[in-house]
Amino acid sequence: MNNMIEIKDLTFEYNREEDGKNIPALSGVDLNIEKGSFTAVIGHNGSGKSTLAKNMNALLLPSGGKVYVNGYDTADESKLWHIRQAAGMVFQNPDNQLVSAIVEDDIAFGPENLGIEPGEIKKRVKESLQAVGMYDYRKKAPHLLSGGQKQRIAIAGVIAMRPECIIFDEPTAMLDPYGRKEVMDTIRKLNKEEGITIILITHFMDEAALADRIVVIDEGKIALDGTPKSVFVQVEKLRKIGLEVPIVTEIAFRLRNKGIHVPEDIISLEEMVNYLCQ
Amino acid sequence: MLRDITLGQYYPGESLIHKLDPRIKILATFIFIIELFLITEFIQYLWILLFLGMVIIISGVPLKFMLKGLQPLMIIIILTFGINIFMTKGEVLWTLGPLNITREGLHQALFMGSRLILLIIGSSVLTLTTKPIKLTDGIEKLLNPFKKIGLPAHELAMMMTIALRFIPTLLEETDKIMKAQMARGADFESGNLLKRAKSLIPLLVPLFISAFRRADELAMAMEARCYRGGENRTRMHELEFHYKDIIAFLVVLCLLGIIVWQRLR
Ligand SMILES: Nc1ncnc2c1ncn2[C@@H]1O[C@H](COP(=O)(O)OP(=O)(O)O)[C@@H](O)[C@H]1O
Ligand SMILES: [Mg+2]
């Protein structure tokens, strides 16, 4: 079994009380996430990204279709805690996911919920804080930390549960550029060094470009799916969906339109510099 | 600044008092308060002072921090003192206009004032030397026997933990909203009581909306981290009694014994 997450023909509808109409937030989504991979999910506001993420660890259950995490059906209630332990989640607002007034106690929260014995919890707290480079802050109060630091604490709190996969729902949206870099470096390190499967929902195209694969969601459906290069070359289609492309791709696109021959698959600054200076 | 008010006012340290089991400290604080109310004569405060002095010295918390706890309650202390000094009938010592200061009043005021001050300092020792998480753990454990009659011990402790975590965040937010509204000409400081209360509406509405949104997101995040109530939950630091806890508790009981004995005599 090489898939961390398998989604088959997933439909999801929120119950809307005000008008009684249920408009599907997701419809007919098929998606497999390979173990150890790094996938970015992009799409404009309200396209269904968060709904998709919450379906991946049984915070929401499908209205139609199936979601399997590590082979377990998310609708199977007896496997609920396995599923949430295997697929951790980091949310957008760093303030609203920390539970305890002291950093190390917060990291312990997940393992404590899993009923792990105290000695092992202490070991995991230490290792998790070291993995995100926040061990020196273990005695601090979260409200005194920067946004990027708080988000790294939230990440440590998830890795203390030893997940195989972490779903990030716009983890950098509320951070300054420095905080964004801190968090992105941490995410990449977890993927490369710890082999944790990463699903990164983001609206920053330069962040999505770092993934192995990009999935574009539009109106609750998958609109594009492929490597960053193969997705970003479709500048016009992305625009129609209401998405930007990375600035370098944008420049390459405009240069091409002006008749200057620039290869289509340039998506990083480095590649652009190399090409233009050869 | 508002963000300086870190709640719980814990003073980190490694002293014997810091290391005592929180359950013992909570119970000891209760007994200490009972002792204060059992005292009938000034001279008996010596026992309390001796005990409290010893605890403060062992704890290594500077006296300055202990006294800080008195500041916000100064009005109550002054009020207690004032009411007692002027309202007690007896042998008149001085006359200030319509008010008489009597010998009994002076005695009563000093007596009640000391009781209040000792009470506040005594309970600050608990919060200054106990980590918030230990405090809530201790309360949870002490309330556990009452679960049988339907008291949600774990939930209460969890609520306190979350409150301690979010009070600074919400204070900060209040500060931010207040500044934002003031920049738009809101006035929180002038006018009569009704007008001032009304001016709080543009502050409280966004604050409540944001607090509810936070609660919603936090609940989601806790669920994602496998939270499912107190059942089968372990703790990183399990509470356990040691000899020092028993000895500390005996000391507090001895003090109670002395005071009760003196009272009965
Ligand atoms: N709790 C909810 N109740 C009802 N509708 C919701 C709820 N959350 C999201 N929606 C709707 O579902 C759609 C997808 O939302 P969401 O998954 O949050 O999108 P995204 O994360 O891509 O911005 C939107 O139309 C949104 O209005
Ligand atoms: Mg979203």
Residue spans of the domains in chain A: they are 3-245
Put simply, the answer to whether B8 touches A125 (Cβ < 8 Å) is: no
The minimum CA-CA distance between B256 and chain A, rounded to whole Å, is 35
Query: Do residues B117 and B184 share a domain?
Result: no
Q: Are residues B190 and B256 in the same domain?
A: no
Q: Is the CB of B235 less than 8 angstroms away from the CB of A161?
A: no
Report the pLDDT value the prediction gives residue A69, as an integer from 0 to 100: 96
Index of the ligand 1 atom closest to the CA of residue A48: 17
Looking at the fold, whether B229 and B180 belong to one and the same domain comes out as yes
Report phi then psi at B95, rounded to 5. Answer: -125, 125
Is B142 within a domain? no
CA distances from B170 to A140, A143, B2, B77, B213 (A): 18, 10, 10, 29, 12
**CB contact at 8 A, A135 and A19:** no
Distance CA B119, CA A251 (A): 71
Tell me what pLDDT residue A20 has: 66
Q: Minimal Cα distance from A124: which residue of B?
A: B236
| pLDDT, position B6 | 42
Taking the C-alpha atoms of residue A16 and residue B160, their distance in angstroms, rounded to an integer, is: 33
Those residues with Cβ within 8 angstroms of residue A93's Cβ, 6 or more apart along the chain or in another chain:
A174, B214, B217
d(CA B5, nearest CA chain A) in Å: 11
Orientation of helix B103-129 relative to helix B22-38, angle to 10°: 180
Question: Max CA-CA distance within chain A?
Answer: 66
> Please, what sign has the CA dihedral across residues B136, A126, B230, B219?
positive
* B228 and B245 assigned to the same domain: no
Residue A150 tokens read as 């708080």
In which order are the strands placed within the sheet that holds A87-90? Answer: A87-90, A165-169, A197-201, A38-42, A213-218, A221-226
Question: Average pLDDT of chain A?
Answer: 92
Cross-chain CB nearest to B221 (options A91, A115, A144): A91
| Pair of tokens at residue B159 | 């609520």
B96 — contact with chain A (CB < 8 Å)? no
- Mean pLDDT over B49-73 rounds to 88
**Looking at ligand 1, which residue's alpha carbon is closest to its atom 25?**
A46
Among residues A212, A213, A200, A204, which one has the least CA distance to residue A243?
Answer: A204
Neighbours of B213 (CB within 10 A): 12
Strands A197-201 and A24-34: unpaired
Do both B206 and B260 map to the same domain?
Answer: no
A251/B contact by beta carbon, under 8 A:
no
- Would the CB atoms of B164 and A101 count as touching at under 8 Å? yes
User: What domain count does chain B have?
Assistant: 2
**Sequence-separated (6 or more) residues with CB below 8 Å from residue B123:** B29, B33, B69
**pLDDT tens per residue across span B90-107:** 888 888 777 888 888 888
Task: Residue B64: give the domain boundaries.
Answer: 1-130+238-265
CA-based nearest residue in chain B for residue A93: B217
**Ramachandran area for residue B97 (φ above 0: left; ψ -120 to 50: alpha; else beta):** left
Contact, A138 vs B236, CB < 8 A? no
B176 shares its domain with B91:
no
In chain A, the residue whose alpha carbon lies closest to the alpha carbon of B7 is A101
Q: Which residue type occupies A69? A: V
pLDDT in tens, A189-243: 999 999 999 999 999 998 999 999 999 999 999 999 999 989 988 888 998 988 8
Beta carbons within 10 angstroms of residue B134's beta carbon: 21
| A84–B226 CB contact, under 8 Å | yes
- Probe residue for ligand 1, chosen from A50, A201, A216, A218 as the CB with the greatest number of ligand atoms within 8 Å: A50
* Partner residue facing A122 (CB), from B6, B223, B236: B236
- How far apart are the CA of A51 and the centre of ligand 1, in A? 6
Same domain, B163 and B198: yes
Per-residue pLDDT band at A1 (split at 50, 70, 90):
low
Both ends of chain B: CA-CA distance in Å?
Answer: 53
Contact between B236 and A96 using a beta-carbon 8 Å cutoff: no
Query: ipTM score of the complex?
Result: 0.90
pTM of the model: 0.85
Q: Min CA distance, B235 vs chain A (Å)?
A: 5
Residue B110: closest CA among B33, B43, B34: B43
Q: What is the mean pLDDT of chain B?
A: 88
Question: Based on the domain organization, do B245 and B209 belong to the same domain?
Answer: no
**Domain A3-245 fold:** Rossmann fold (3.40.50)
> Does residue B138 fall inside a structural domain?
no
Asked if residue B120 and residue B244 are part of one domain, the reply reads yes
Q: Is residue B136 part of a domain?
A: no
Q: Which of residues 162-181 of B touch A (CB under 8 A)?
A: 162, 164-165, 168-169, 172
Task: Name chain B contacts of A91, Cβ cutoff 8 Å.
Answer: 217, 220-221, 224
CB within 8 Å: A113 and B227: yes
For residues B24 and A251, which has the higher predicted lDDT (pLDDT)?
A: B24
Cα gap A17→A185, rounded to integer Å: 42
Clarify whether residues B88 and B175 are in a common domain: no
Residue with the bigger pLDDT between A151 and A143: it is A151
Say how many residues make up chain B.
Answer: 265
Q: Which residue of A89, A105, A106, A122 is the best one to mutate when testing the B interface, meaning the one whose CB has the most B CBs within 10 A?
A: A105
Q: Where are the beta strands (DSSP E) in chain B?
A: 92-96, 99-102
**Which DSSP string do the residues of B211-246 spell out, in sequence order?**
HHHHHHHHHHHHHHTT---STT---SS-----HHHH
Question: Does B144 map to a domain?
Answer: no
Angle between helices B132-143 and B153-183 (to 10 degrees): 140
Does residue B125 sit in the same domain as residue B10?
yes
Q: Residue of the nearest CA to atom 1 in ligand 1?
A: A14
Contact assignment for B238 to A118 by CB distance below 8 Å: yes
Which protein residues are within 6 Å of ligand 1, measured from CB? A 14, 16, 25, 43, 45-51
Are both B39 and B89 inside the same structural domain?
A: yes
- Calculate mean pLDDT across residues B123-151: 90
pLDDT score of A235: 86
| Chain A nearest-CA residue for B166 | A101
> In angstroms, how far apart are the furthest CA atoms of chain B?
70
A240 half-sphere exposure, CB direction, 13 A CA radius: 6
